[in-house]
Amino acid sequence: MIRTFVRTLGIGLVYLVASGHVGSPNTWFEGNAGPYPVTVEVQTAGVVPGIAKVFVRVTGEALTGVTVQANKFDASGAAPPAESAQPVAGDPGLFSGKLWMMSGGSNSVTVSVNGKKGHGKVVVPVVVVAYSRLGLAAPMGIGLAAMGLFLFAGLVTIVGAAVREGSLPPGEVPTDRTRKRARIAMVLTSVILVTLLASGWRWWNSEDTAYERNMYKPLSSKAEVVERNGAKLLQVSITDSAWVHRGDTAWLARNGRNQWTPLVEDHGKLMHLFVISEDGSSFAHLHPSSRDSVVFPSNLPSLPPGRYRVFADIVHESGFTHTLVSPLVLSAIVPQLVPEKADPDDSWLIDAKRNDGTRATLADGTTIDWLKPSELVAGRPSPLRFAVRNRDGSPGVLEPYMGMAGHAVVQREDGSVFVHLHPMGTISMASQMAFALRQPGDTIRGRLGKRVSDAEASAMSHASVPASSVSFPYSFPKEGPYRIWVQVKRDGKVLTAAFDAKVAKEREPRS
C-alpha cells in the first residue's frame, strides 16, 4: 500500500515537472478587454474534471461587473453560462471566480468587463490537463474505514436478527433452528457484502488505472547533434508514436490515442527552442525549420561543451501548447554555421556570470535594469519589469522582437521549472487567435491554422513596442533559486541579459 502511494506520488510529480510550461501550470495574460486593461491569472486544478480559480485585475473606473466563462476548443454544444467574479476584499480592482473545467485539452476562459466605458471582453487560452492525483487525507481515510466496518457489522447483525426473530410472536424465544438459519443468513450476507466490496475495489482500481493512463504526458522527443553538408546542426525530433502516426486513424484507434491537430506558427516560428546549460551559464534561443513537423534541425551556435537541457515550445491548431524536454550533451565541437539557412531571430548568451543584482550590461554596451520588488514569494504575482538605458543613462529605444517588446525565460536552478514568457503572459499568440478565429465549419484540419498564421503575420507586421521598457506578468510556482533571461532587440540585433533570483516559500496560499 505504501509502495503504491509512493509510486503514485512519484508519477504525479513527474507529470507536473514534464507538463507544458514545465512546472509552471498557471496561465497568465496581460492585455485589454475592450477599453479595460486587464491582468488574468488562471489556476487550474491539476485534475480533470476540476475547478479552476480565476483572478482578474482590472484597471478602470466605475466598474459594474466582471464575469468569467469556460469553453472547450472543440465543444459541440453551447458554452456554459458565465459566472460572476467577486471583488476581493482589501484589494481594489481585483476580482476572483471559480470555473468547472470538465474535460482536458485546449480550453479557454472568456473574461467580460462592464463599466462606464461600456462592455469589453477577451479570450484567454488555457491548457487543461490532469497532471496530479488527489490523495485521501489519513484522518478521513481512517474515519471512512471505521464507518465502513460499523455499517458492515450493523447490516450483518440486522439481517441475522431479522431472520432469527422477525417472524416470532412477542415474548417467544428463538429455537435452535431459527438461530441456525440466522447464522447462515449472516454468513451469506457477509459473503455478498465482501463480494460487492471486492468488485467495487476492482472497479475503483480500474478507474484509477485509466485515469493514470490518461494523465498528461508530453510528447517524447530527442535532441542530438547531427552533421549535414559539412555543418553541425542541432536536431530535435518528436519521437512520440502518437505524433508519428498522427495520420493513421486505425493505429490511433487500436492504441487508444487521440489524433493531434497540426502545428501552427507562433510569433512566426513553428518551434521556439531553448538550449540551457545545466549550470545556467550558457543560453540559446533558436528557431528550427521542419519539412514534416517531426524533425526540426537548426544551426548550432558555438556553445561550450557540457550537459544541457533542451526545451522546445510548439503550438497545435487547437491552441494546445507543448513544451518538449530533452537532455543534450555537447562535446568540444566547432559548429560551422550556414548563414543563408540561419534564422535571423536566433540568439544566445555564453558564459554569463552570476548576477544577483538588478542591472546587466548588454552586448551593445547599453544597460538593462530589473525593476525588482523587495521580495519574491512563490505563488504571489511577481511581474518581471525591465528598463533599457543608453550609455548616457537616457531611455533606450526598443524594436519589435518577433512582434513584441521582448521575450523572457525563467528556469529554476534544478530545471524543475521552465517557462517562456511574453509581455502578454504565458499564453501564445497563436493559441489566442485559434479561439478568436475558429468558426463552426472548421472541421478540416489545417484550414484554421492557415488563417491563424495569416492573422498573426499581419499583427506582427503592425506591432509597436514601448520606447524603453518591457514587462512580463508571472508568479513563481515554488521557492528556490532561479535564473531569468530577458531578450530585447535594438538596432536590428537581439540582446540577452541574465539575472539570478531567490524566491521565498509561499506563506499563505491565495484563496
DSSP output for 272-304? EEEEEETTS--EEEE----SSSSEEEEE---PP
List pLDDT tens digits, range 399-423.
999 989 999 999 999 999 999 999 9
Cβ-defined contacts of 478-482 (< 8 Å, 24+): 478/23, 478/378, 478/379, 478/412, 478/416, 478/417, 478/503, 478/506, 479/378, 479/503, 479/504, 479/505, 479/506, 480/412, 480/413, 480/414, 481/412, 481/413, 482/410, 482/411, 482/412, 482/413, 482/417
CA distance 63 to 85: 12
Give the pLDDT band of residue 335 (cuts 50, 70, 90): low
Continuous H helices in 300-446: 429-437
Percent of the chain, pLDDT > 90? 62
Arithmetic mean of pLDDT over the chain? 88
List pLDDT tens digits, range 77-130.
667 899 999 999 989 999 999 999 998 889 999 999 999 999 999 999 999 998
The predicted pLDDT at position 36 comes to: 95
Mean pLDDT of 471-480: 96
CA distance 66 to 85: 5
Specify the DSSP class assigned to residue 76: -
Give the pLDDT band of residue 20 (cuts 50, 70, 90): low
Mean pLDDT of 316-342: 78
Cβ-proximal residues to 9 (8 Å cutoff; 6+ apart), any chain: 135
Pick the more confident residue, 464 or 23: 23
pTM of the model: 0.85
The predicted pLDDT at position 338 comes to: 52
- Residue 497's DSSP bridge partners are 486
Give the pLDDT band of residue 376 (cuts 50, 70, 90): very high
Strand order across the 359-361 sheet: 359-361, 367-370, 384-389, 469-472
